[in-house]
Chains A and B, each alone.
Chain A
Amino acid sequence: MMQVYDLYATGFGGMGLHFRLDGFRLVYACLAVLMWTACGIFSREYMAHYEKRKRYYIFFWATFIATAGVFLSADLYTFFLFFEIMSFTSYVWVAFDERKESLRAAQTYLAVAVIGGMTLLMGLFILNNLCGTLEMDEAAERARQILSGGGDTAGERKLLYVSGVMMLVGFGAKAGVFPLHIWLPKAHPVAPAPASALLSGILTKTGIFGVIFLTCHMFSGNGAWGLLICVLGAVTMLAGAFLALFSVDLKRTLACSSVSQIGFIMTGLGVSSLLSWAGEENSLAVRGVFLHMVNHSLLKLVLFLCAGAVFMNLHELNLNEIRGFGRRKPALFFSFLMGALGISGVPFWNGYVSKTLLHEAIVEYRELTVHHTLDVGLSGAPVFPEAAKVLLSPAVWTVTEWIFLLAGGMTAAYMLKLTVALFVERHPVRQPEFDSMGTSYMSLPGSLAISLPAALLFFLGLTPSVTMDFIADLGQSFLGGKTAESVAYWSWKNMQGSLISLGIGIVLYLGPVRMWLRKRVGDTWYYVDRWPAWLDLENLIYRPVLTVLLPGIFGTVFTWTDERLFPALARTFMAVSAVFCRAMDQMADGLILLARKTTHRQVKEHRSQSEGNWLAVIVGTAEDILLGASDCLTGRRRRLGCRPSSVGRMCERERDAKHVINMVEESFSFGLMLFCIGLCTTLVYLLYAFFV
C-alpha cells in the first residue's frame, strides 16, 4: 500500500481539476513515461525520412501530457477534459501521412472519438445531476447509495443505469470494445508505428481506466453490470481474435489482437465484479485484470515497434511482401519472439501470468455456480431477474471458460502465423535483398528501444512472484482488490489452462491457417484474405447510418422545410394578405369604378365605317338626309353647321344588335339541345319502365 497524494487546481476550466497519485496511477504514469521514451527514441529513426516531423512531435508530446492527465485524474471532469484532448491530438497521428486511406481511417477514428466523447459527456451530465459531483470517490459513493435503495425513487436508479451505459459507450469506444472496435483495424495500419504502439498500448487503456471506474467503483458488486461487461468482453475477445486470424496485414493483425486482448481484460473485469457480487474474494480476478493491462501495454509496445522496423525498411505490411524479412536479424527476431511468446501466454513469459489469473477467476466463479452457493447472495441484490438465470447457470460459465481458452489459442495461432511468415519463410523474389540488410535495417538506439522492453517481458515472466506481484499489489486497491495472495504460478494445475490454449493454437495453425488461409500459386504459397469483404461493421452499418440514413432523414426533413414549407407558408401569407389588402383597396376604388361605369360613363366615340352593314348604311343615310333636310328647313344648319353622319352610330347599333341576337340564338339552341337530351332520357326511362 502506498501513500495517496492529491493535487487540486481550483478554478481551472470552471470546475477545477483534481489529480491523484496512488498505486494504480503511479504504475500507469511510469508506463506512459517508459512507452513514450521508447517510442520517442524509435521515432527519431522511423520519422527520419518524413516531412512535417515537427507536427508529429508536437502532437506526440501533447498526447503524452493528455494521456498522463487522464491517468492521474481523480475526478471525472478532469478525466473528460484530458480524454478529449487526447482524442484530438492523437487524431493527427492517424492522419499523419495524408494519404487517402489514412484520411479515411482518421475520419473513422475521429468519428468514433467524437461520438464516444459526446455520449460520455451526456452520461457525465446525468451522473452530475444525480450525484451532484463528479469527484470519482463521492460520485461512486452516491451511486452505490442509489443502487442499494438509498435513492428517492426507482427512477433515479434507472437513470443511473442509463448514465452508466452512456459512459460505457464513451469509454468502450476508446478501448475498442466490440461493436465500437472499428477504428483499431483501420487506424493502426496507416498510423506511424510508434503512434500505433501508443494508440494500442496505452490510449486504449484510458478507456479501460474508465470502465474500471464504472465497474469497480460505481457499480461495484452489481451482478447485472458485471454480466454486461462479461458478455461484451467475451464477444470482443472472440471477434478480435477471429479478425486477427484472418488478417494478412502485419499491423492490422496486431490491431485486431489488441481488440481481442481488451476483450480478455473486460472479461476479467466482469468476472471480478460478479465475484464481489457473490460476496466472494475477487482479488485473483482483479490482479489478473490489472496485470493483463500492464502486460498488454508492454507487449504491444514491442510488437508494434517491430512492425515499425519492418515498415520503415520495406514500406509494406502485407505478409506476402514482407515474409522472410526477419531472417538473419537477431535483434528483431529476439524482440518479436518475446512479444509473440508473451502475448500467447506461454509459461515463463509475462502474458502467461495474467492470463492464468484471469482463467483462475473464471474457474472460481464457475465453481460457485456449480455448488449453488450463490442463492444466498441473490436474494438481497438488486439484479434484473433475467440476468440472474444466466448468472447462476454453470453451463454459461463453462462456455465462457472455453471461449477464453479458444481466444487464447487463436492468439497463439495468429502470432505463430506472423512469426513463421516473418522469420521462417522466404520471400520468393527479394530474399537476397532482405538478407543484405542484416545490419543496416535499424540503428543501435532504435534496436535498443525495442529489445530492452522485449527483455523486460521475459524478465517479468520469469520472476512473477517478485515483480508482477509487486505491480499487482500497487494497482489492485483501485480495482477493489484487498488482500495480496501469492499464487503458485508454476503449479501443474495452473499450467494446464495455458497448455490447452497453446494446443488449440497449434492445431488451429496447422489446420485452417496453413491449409485454408493460404493458396498455392506455382511453387509458392500465398496468404489470402478469406474474410468476406462485405462483412465490415463500419461499411455495413455505421457509415451508411451516419452518412446516409441520419443526414438523409434530417436533411430531407430540413431541406423540405427550408425549400418547400417555409416558402409555401410565406407565399400563402403573402397571398392571403394580398387578397385582403386588395379588398380593402377596392372599397374606395370600387365606388369610383361603379360611378364611372354608370353615372359618369364616358361618351363613346362613333367610328364612321360602314363596310358590310348595309341596313345600317341605308337607315343612317336616310336619317342623314331627313335630318339634313329638316335642318335646312329650320335654319339650324346655318346656326350650328353640319351634323356628323349617323351612319357610324347606326353601324354600331347594328353590331350590338347582331351580337345580342347571336347570343340569344346560341343559348336558345343550347337550351333546345339540353331539352332534347332530357326528352330522350325520359323516353328511354319510359321504355325501360314499360318493358321491365
Chain B
Amino acid sequence: MKGFLLTVPVLLPLMGGGILLLAKLAGHRRIGGKCLERVTLGVVSFNSLLVLLLLCSDMWGRRVVLFRLYSNLSVMFKLDLMGGFFAGLIAVLWPLATLFSLAYMREEKRKGTFFAYYVMTYGVTLGIALAGNLVTLYIFYEMLTLVTFPLVLFPLSREAVLASRTYLYYSIGGAAFAFIGIIFVLVFSSTGTSEFIAGGILSTQAMTQQRDMLLLVYVLAFFGFGVKAALLPCYVWLPRATVAPTPVTALLHAVAVVKSGAFAVMRFTYFSFGASFLRGSWAQYTVMAAALLTILFGSTMAVKEIHWKRRLAYSTVSNLSYILFGAAIMTPFGLAAALCHMAAHAFMKICSFFCAGAVMHQTGKNYVYELDGLGKRMPATFGCLTVASLSLMGIPLFAGFVSKWNLCGAALSYGSSIVEEGKWGAFLPVLGVAVILYSALMTAVYMLSVLVRAYFPRVSEGSLKTAETEENDVCANCDPGWEMLVPLFIFAGVILFMGLYPGPFLELFGRIGGAAA
C-alpha cells in the first residue's frame, strides 16, 4: 500500500483548500490574519517537501489506482520520469510563489477565499503531473479550469468577470475536443485502458486501418489541449486573464495552467498516440505549422502591447508554442528540447511576472511607459528582471539560450532526417528555426524596451516634476520586502545556473526524451 503515498500530494492541498473554504463559510474570525498565512504556507511547503521526498525515494514506476469509475476507466497515479519532472518543477515553484503572494495579497480583503483556491490548484496541478492515464489527466485537467476560475474572477471587476467567463468558455470548449481524443484512444487502445506507456498504446491494426481518422482525432485533441497552452485560434483568454492579481497570472498563467496544457499535449503525443506513428504525417505538419504561427503571432503582439502584464502574457503565448513546436518535432531530441524550454520558461516567466508584480505592488504602475527611471529606485527587482529578460531573449549564459539552442538543433536535425526520407514537410523545421530567431529579435525588442526605459529614462521637461514626486514617495518606490525578493533571487539564480551549467538538466531531459520516443 506504499503506492498510496502518491495520492497524498494530490489530495492534501485539495483538502487543505477545502478546509480553508469551510472555515471561511463557518465564519471563523481568525482565518483572515496570520493564521491563514501560516496554514497556507505550511500546507504548501509540507506538500512540496513530500513531493521532493517522493522523487528521491524508490517510488519510480510505481502505480496506484485510487478508484474505478467504470470498467476500464480508473483514476490512476503513476510516477514516471516525465511526470516526476513536472511534479518537481511545480513543487519547487509553488512554495516560493506562495511566499510572494502572501506578501502581495496582505492588504486584500477576501484573501481567505483566494488562498483556498490557490492551495487547491496546487493539488490539481500535481494531479495532472502524476496522472497515470489519460482519463485521470482529463479529470484533473477539467478540475484545473474549475479551481482557477475563481482566482481569475477574484478582483470581481467587470473586466475580471468577462475575463473569467472567456477563460471558462475556452477551457471547457478545448477540453471537449480533447475528450474526443480520449474516446478514440480508449477504443483503439491495445491495452484496453488509457494508461500512459512510452511509445504509445494504439493497436497496430488501428494504426494501419484507421490511420487518417486517428490523425484527424490527434489534430483535434492537440488543438483541444492546446487551448490551455494558448495555441493560436484559442489564445484570447490568456491576455485577458491578466486582470487577475499578479501571483495568479504569474503562477497560473505562466506556469501551472499553460504548462499543464503543454504537458498534456506531450503526454498525449508521446504516451498515447506514439511519436513514431505521427512522425512525418500531415497531422504533425499541421500542428507544427500552428505552433510556428503562434510563435510569430505572440511575439509580434507582445511588441505592440503597452500594458506590461499583457505584454508578458503575449510573450507567454509565443513561448508556449516553442514548447509545442519542440513537442511536435516528435523525436527524442525534440521532446528533450521542449522539456528544457518548459523548465527554463517556467523560471524566466514567473520571474518576469513577479518583477512586474513587485513594481505594481510598490508603485501601482501598470504600463510600460510609466516605468521610466524605476531601475535605479528598485535595483534588486530590475536586476532580476534583467536576468529574466536576457534569458527570454536567448542570450548565452542564461537558461533561455540553452533551451533555444537545443530546440533549433532538434529542429534542424529532424529537418535533415526527413529530407533524406524525401518527405514534403522538411521545410517546416528549418522554417521553425527562422521563426524562432525572428521571435528572439521581437523578444529583444519587447523585453529590452522595458529595461532601457527603466535604466535610461528619457529626460524630458517633466523630469523636475518626477524628481519632486520622488522626494515624496521615496519609501513607496523602493524595493519590496524580503518575502518578495527571496523568490525573485532564487528564480534569477536558477536561470543563471541552468544557463551556466545545464549538463545535468540536459542529461535528464535527454533520458526522458529517449525513453518516450
- Residue ranges of A at the interface with B (Cβ–Cβ < 8 Å): 11-15, 80-81, 84-85, 88, 95, 98-100, 103, 106-107, 110, 114-115, 118-119, 121-122, 125-126, 128-129, 551, 554-555, 558-559, 561-562, 566, 569
Among A81, A98, A126, A558, point to the contact of B397 (Cβ < 8 A). Answer: A81
Question: How far apart sit A17 and B304, CA to CA, in the bound complex (Å)?
Answer: 38
Are B458's CB and A103's CB within 8 A?
yes
Question: How far apart sit A471 and B393, CA to CA, in the bound complex (Å)?
Answer: 40
Question: At the interface, yes or no: B160 with Cβ under 8 Å from chain A?
Answer: no
Contacts of B502 in A (CB 8 A): 13-14
Are A569's CB and B233's CB within 8 A?
yes
A-B contact pairs, 26 of them (CB 8 A): A11-B501, A13-B401, A13-B502, A14-B402, A14-B506, A15-B405, A80-B396, A81-B396, A81-B397, A84-B395, A88-B395, A95-B456, A98-B459, A103-B456, A115-B441, A118-B437, A122-B433, A125-B433, A129-B409, A129-B416, A554-B300, A555-B300, A555-B304, A558-B296, A558-B304, A566-B236
Question: At the interface, yes or no: B301 with Cβ under 8 Å from chain A?
Answer: yes
Contacts of A129 in B (CB 8 A): 409, 412-413, 416
- In the assembled complex, the CB of B317 is this many whole angstroms from the nearest CB of chain A, namely 11
Among B233, B304, B456, B503, point to the contact of A14 (Cβ < 8 A). Answer: B503
- In the assembled complex, the CB of A690 is this many whole angstroms from the nearest CB of chain B, namely 68
Question: How far apart sit A274 and B440, CA to CA, in the bound complex (Å)?
Answer: 37
Contacts of A126 in B (CB 8 A): 412
Question: How far apart sit A469 and B500, CA to CA, in the bound complex (Å)?
Answer: 41
Which secondary structure dominates chain B's binding surface? helix
- In the assembled complex, the CB of B395 is this many whole angstroms from the nearest CB of chain A, namely 5
Contacts of A121 in B (CB 8 A): 437, 440
Are B441's CB and A118's CB within 8 A?
yes
Contacts of B441 in A (CB 8 A): 114-115, 118
Are B408's CB and A125's CB within 8 A?
yes
- In the assembled complex, the CB of B510 is this many whole angstroms from the nearest CB of chain A, namely 12
Q: A118-B441, A122-B434 are in contact. Are A11 and B300 (CB under 8 A)?
A: no
Among B233, B300, B396, B452, point to the contact of A558 (Cβ < 8 A). Answer: B300
- Residue ranges of B at the interface with A (Cβ–Cβ < 8 Å): 233, 236, 296-297, 300-301, 303-304, 390, 393, 395-397, 401-402, 405-406, 408-409, 412-413, 416, 433-434, 437, 440-441, 444, 448, 452, 456-459, 499-503, 506
Question: How far apart sit A84 and B440, CA to CA, in the bound complex (Å)?
Answer: 13
- In the assembled complex, the CB of A219 is this many whole angstroms from the nearest CB of chain B, namely 21
Contacts of B396 in A (CB 8 A): 13, 80-81, 84-85
Question: How far apart sit A330 and B397, CA to CA, in the bound complex (Å)?
Answer: 47
Question: How far apart sit A98 and B393, CA to CA, in the bound complex (Å)?
Answer: 23
Question: How far apart sit A14 and B390, CA to CA, in the bound complex (Å)?
Answer: 17
- In the assembled complex, the CB of B173 is this many whole angstroms from the nearest CB of chain A, namely 10
Question: How far apart sit A575 and B501, CA to CA, in the bound complex (Å)?
Answer: 54
How many cross-chain pairs have Cβ atoms below 8 Å apart between A and B? 87
Question: Which residue on chain B has the smallest CB distance to residue A115?
Answer: B441
Which secondary structure dominates chain A's binding surface? helix
Among B408, B457, B459, B499, point to the contact of A13 (Cβ < 8 A). Answer: B499
Q: A81-B396, A121-B437 are in contact. Are A98 and B296 (CB under 8 A)?
A: no
Contacts of A128 in B (CB 8 A): 409, 412
Among A11, A14, A99, A100, point to the contact of B405 (Cβ < 8 A). Answer: A14
Q: A14-B502, A103-B456, A110-B448 are in contact. Are A562 and B301 (CB under 8 A)?
A: yes
Among A13, A122, A558, point to the contact of B402 (Cβ < 8 A). Answer: A13
Question: Which residue on chain A has the smallest CB distance to residue B373?
Answer: A98
- In the assembled complex, the CB of A82 is this many whole angstroms from the nearest CB of chain B, namely 8
- In the assembled complex, the CB of B163 is this many whole angstroms from the nearest CB of chain A, namely 15
4 other contacts beyond A129-B412, A551-B304, with CB at 8 A cut-off?
A12-B500, A15-B405, A85-B397, A121-B437
Question: How far apart sit A118 and B435, CA to CA, in the bound complex (Å)?
Answer: 11
Question: How far apart sit A81 and B444, CA to CA, in the bound complex (Å)?
Answer: 16
Q: A14-B502, A114-B444, A566-B233 are in contact. Are A98 and B456 (CB under 8 A)?
A: yes
- In the assembled complex, the CB of B82 is this many whole angstroms from the nearest CB of chain A, namely 21
Question: How far apart sit A14 and B506, CA to CA, in the bound complex (Å)?
Answer: 8
Are B412's CB and A98's CB within 8 A?
no
Question: How far apart sit A149 and B401, CA to CA, in the bound complex (Å)?
Answer: 34
Contacts of B233 in A (CB 8 A): 566, 569
Question: Which residue on chain B has the smallest CB distance to residue A166?
Answer: B437
Count chain B CB atoms within 10 A of each CB in A13, A103, A126 and give the residue with the most.
A13
Count chain A CB atoms within 10 A of each CB in B301, B303, B456, B501 and give the residue with the most.
B456
Are A559's CB and B304's CB within 8 A?
yes
Are B297's CB and A561's CB within 8 A?
yes
Contacts of B408 in A (CB 8 A): 125
Among A84, A88, A554, A559, point to the contact of B296 (Cβ < 8 A). Answer: A554
Question: How far apart sit A99 and B457, CA to CA, in the bound complex (Å)?
Answer: 9
Contacts of A80 in B (CB 8 A): 396
Contacts of A98 in B (CB 8 A): 456-457, 459
Question: How far apart sit A596 and B300, CA to CA, in the bound complex (Å)?
Answer: 58
Contacts of A14 in B (CB 8 A): 402, 405-406, 502-503, 506
Are B297's CB and A125's CB within 8 A?
no
Q: Which 8 A-B pairs have the closest CB atoms?
A: A81-B396, A129-B412, A11-B503, A14-B502, A554-B300, A114-B444, A14-B402, A118-B437
Question: How far apart sit A115 and B440, CA to CA, in the bound complex (Å)?
Answer: 10
Question: How far apart sit A99 and B397, CA to CA, in the bound complex (Å)?
Answer: 30
Contacts of B434 in A (CB 8 A): 122
Contacts of A15 in B (CB 8 A): 405
Question: Which residue on chain B has the smallest CB distance to residue A565?
Answer: B233
Count chain B CB atoms within 10 A of each CB in A12, A15, A554 and give the residue with the most.
A554
Question: How far apart sit A554 and B435, CA to CA, in the bound complex (Å)?
Answer: 13
Question: Which residue on chain A has the smallest CB distance to residue B298?
Answer: A558
Question: Which residue on chain A has the smallest CB distance to residue B438?
Answer: A118
